[in-house]
Amino acid sequence: MAYKKFLAAADNHGGLVCKASKKKLLEFADVWKPHHRIHLGDNWDLSPLRRGASSEERADGISDDYQCGLEFLDAFRPNFLTLGNHDDRLWQHSTSCSDGMLREHCAKLAQASEDEFKKRKIAWVPYHVSKYLQMPEGGPKLIHGFRATMYPAKATFENWGPSICGHVHKPDVFTARHIDGQASFTVGCLADIDALSYADRTPAKLAWRNGWLYGIINDKSGAWQAWHVIREGNTWISPMGIL
Amino acid sequence: MKKKTTAAINSLEYALSQLSTAQKREDEFTIDEFIQSLAAKGEWITASSTTSRLNTLLTKGLLTRPDSAGA
Ligand SMILES: [Fe+2]
Ligand SMILES: [Fe+2]
């Protein structure tokens, strides 16, 4: 019986990535040497494709954002990717944009992105409540996340059971009152929190932190445990100490 | 990055810039604006029926800006 190591990161938001957090994560990955690398989505921000985007936002274009997202995938080298609601803007526009020309170009870039995932041997799922990934040993469901409440890990457990997700940008844990044990985690984000200005008037933003999650999973039983690394000020704190 | 991806980004970038900056002439409008103007009047039509509607209006010489009378 042996334990395998995993590392989960989320919400770098393309061009809005926090460069210091990305660097810390990659340094941590070099030391932790995980068997499984998990990206929990919002790899891109894609604000020009937001419904109701202003013409200024559209004029910003998506090249830089897209390039930064791909660079993140190349640096972090995830084996698993659960697309987020921000990534999903591209796939949504591919099918439901009323502007025919935009729809067609989004469909091409969505297809090209799927080819990029394939080239990098990344197992991925679209942003959909019924889609999730799991490590080969079993363990938690891997999802981007849908529930934004005061207690997101508890809310996620309610719908998906044992799980690890991103989306809420807040490190959170729910330990189940259940005979089988189990838990849910939501992971901090890797974006520059100040740059995510769409949430500037939302008190939930006060709980956002930069960070990631690392853990171990039993290769026979699928039993697992995980720990947050959370940035407070300019210090990244892990249960093992200061990074 | 694959060549296909670079090409897809460039063309999407162009499409976005057209949407945001293209100077329209006085009577020019996009299909999207046409659909939106019908939606504002409570009529929802698909992209393909929009094309045939526009063709009909065009051949009958009835095509005007969607926000002006008659469109
Ligand atoms: Fe996010
Ligand atoms: Fe998200």
* A128: containing domain: 3-242
CA–CA separation, A87 vs A135, rounded Å? 22
Instruction: Name chain A contacts of B7, Cβ cutoff 8 Å.
Output: 108
Residue B70 distance to chain A (closest CA, Å) = 22
Are the beta carbons of B16 and A62 separated by less than 8 Å? Answer: yes
State how far the Cα of A216 lies from the Cα of A34, in Å rounded to an integer: 9
pLDDT value, residue B37: 81
Confidence (pTM): 0.84
Q: A108 and B1: CB-CB below 8 Å?
A: no
CA distance A6 to A38: 7
pLDDT over 90 percentage in chain A: 87
Burial of residue B52, with CB atoms counted within 10 A of its CB: 0-12 exposed, 13-18 middle, 19 or more buried: exposed
Q: Is B48 on the interface with A (CB under 8 A)?
A: no
B30 vs A: CB within 8 A: yes
CATH of the domain at A144: 3.60.21.10
Tell me the chain A residues in contact with residue B30 when contact means C-beta distances shorter than 8 Å: 99
Which residues of chain A register pLDDT less than 70? Answer: none
pLDDT of residue B17 exceeding 80, the answer is: yes
| Cα A53 to Cα A58: distance, rounded to the nearest angstrom | 7
Asked if B9's CB is within 8 angstroms of A116's CB, the reply is no
Per-residue pLDDT reduced to its tens digit, A172-221: 999 999 998 999 999 999 999 999 998 999 999 999 999 999 999 999 99
Residues A20, A189 contacting (CB under 8 angstroms): no
Count: domains in chain A: 1
DSSP H helices in chain A? 19-32, 55-59, 63-76, 85-96, 100-119, 152-160
Whole-number pLDDT of residue A100 = 77
pLDDT at A2: 94
